[in-house]
Amino acid sequence: MAVTLEQARRVGYTCLKALLRFAFMVVNNLVAIPSYVLYLIMLQPLRILDSKSFWYIEGVLFKWLLAMVASWGWWAGYTVVEWGDDVKAVSEDEAMVLVNHQATGDVCTLMMCLQDKGTVVRQMMWLMDHIFKYTNFGIVSLIHGDFFIRQGRTHRDQQLVLLKDHLEKYYRSRNRKWIVLFPEGGFLRKRRETSQAFAKKNNLPFLKHVTLPRLGATQVILKTLVAPQENGTPSGGDTVRKESKSKGLQWVIDTTIAYPKAEPIDIQTWILGYRQPTVTHVHYRIFPVKDVPAEPEALTNWLYQRFIEKEDLLTHFYETGAFPPPQGQTKAISREMTLSNLWLVAIQSLAFLSGGMWYCLFQYLYHCLF
């Protein structure tokens, strides 16, 4: 089939745009990430004198870095529509966020849609595959205190011990509030066949849009972060109403990400922007942690049930283009999340100004010394 002039122009424009976006992303990383590290090096005396203030400043810088990542998708037209419970109502409480995992773009989507949730982004901890430690963002996550988990049976027991130690050492000392994990333990396309075989062998539901979750990390988080008197006790009241300010994890936020036509966005698309503008849909359901069972078998069944519900949500979404209404209601209400372009430009400008400042400073020191 012959390529028309118009088609050639369109392809050329897409390639040029992708190249320019990639160049901007590289420069953005080269100024923003070193600036983050250098600011925190300079603030080490404050860490000794006033640790709380140090981690507050680190959290603000961390949120700005995540906003830069969000801006790459936002300006490409990759926006988010939210459904279900309003998680802003529990943004100041401690919560565990359970997310289905389809592609690398899931993390970018969360970086975007959590930006307008108060202090959540600067006070959150991520659990991610250890391979991310070796990416450009690895040094940032290491400083922030995220946990890199190594997958595989041979590492599982050791990793859970390390996770427990990590939470005890860093979670409360750095005033973390939300912890985000992907209980499926890998991307859908990689784990689906194995999960379906396991389900068939153990007489469990056949799932196509999610896989059966793994218990380990979820159980460790609950055991470590939930106040003992709360876990496993009867619930009461509205699930999205703030309860008392008692210490400990108070909520589990079941988060389901859905992409139109079940075509997830990967990190390459997020950076290069070659896909047409796309609306990603994110559904939230909030559970009081006291409704979550503590015993391993009961917790496994509870966690399986959440992902069976995710399967139903995604099936409905792929058939209708919308999530179903909550139980007892006739209509589902969606909310378009927004980001301020002015705010994003201000953050990007600050990153480049910081990069220029550090460059001038090091040039000055070099000339003074040599």
Task: Kindly state whether residue 167 falls inside one of the protein's structural domains.
Answer: yes
* pLDDT of 247 above 80: no
Mean pLDDT of 194-216: 92
Q: Domain count of the chain? A: 1
Share of the chain above pLDDT 90, in %: 75
Task: Kindly state whether residue 286 falls inside one of the protein's structural domains.
Answer: yes
User: Quick one: pLDDT band at residue 235, thresholds 50, 70, 90?
Assistant: very low
User: Quick one: pLDDT band at residue 144, thresholds 50, 70, 90?
Assistant: very high
How close are the terminal C-alpha atoms of the chain, in Å?
A: 64
Burial (0-12, 13-18, 19+ Cβ within 10 Å), 29? middle
CB neighbours of residue 134 within 10 Å: 10
Burial (0-12, 13-18, 19+ Cβ within 10 Å), 367? exposed
Name the pTM for this structure: 0.90
Distance CA 329, CA 292 (A): 24
Return all residues near 109 (Cβ < 8 A) that are at least 6 apart.
Answer: 73, 80, 257, 265, 280, 282
Token pair 């990603």 in the structure block, residue? 280
* pLDDT of 199 above 60: yes
* pLDDT of 44 above 80: yes
Return all residues near 226 (Cβ < 8 A) that are at least 6 apart.
Answer: 248, 249, 289
Helix (H, G, I), strand (E, B) or coil at 82: strand
pLDDT for 245 equals: 47
- The residue type found at 210 is V
Per-residue pLDDT tens for 162-184? 999 999 999 999 999 999 999 99
Task: Kindly state whether residue 114 falls inside one of the protein's structural domains.
Answer: yes
Residues in the chain: 370
Task: Kindly state whether residue 237 falls inside one of the protein's structural domains.
Answer: no
Task: Kindly state whether residue 236 falls inside one of the protein's structural domains.
Answer: no
Task: Kindly state whether residue 242 falls inside one of the protein's structural domains.
Answer: no
Task: Kindly state whether residue 292 falls inside one of the protein's structural domains.
Answer: yes
| Domain assignment of residue 81, given as a range | 5-227+247-369
pLDDT for 329 equals: 81
Task: Kindly state whether residue 238 falls inside one of the protein's structural domains.
Answer: no
Return all residues near 140 (Cβ < 8 A) that are at least 6 apart.
Answer: 33, 36, 37, 62, 65
* pLDDT of 229 above 80: no
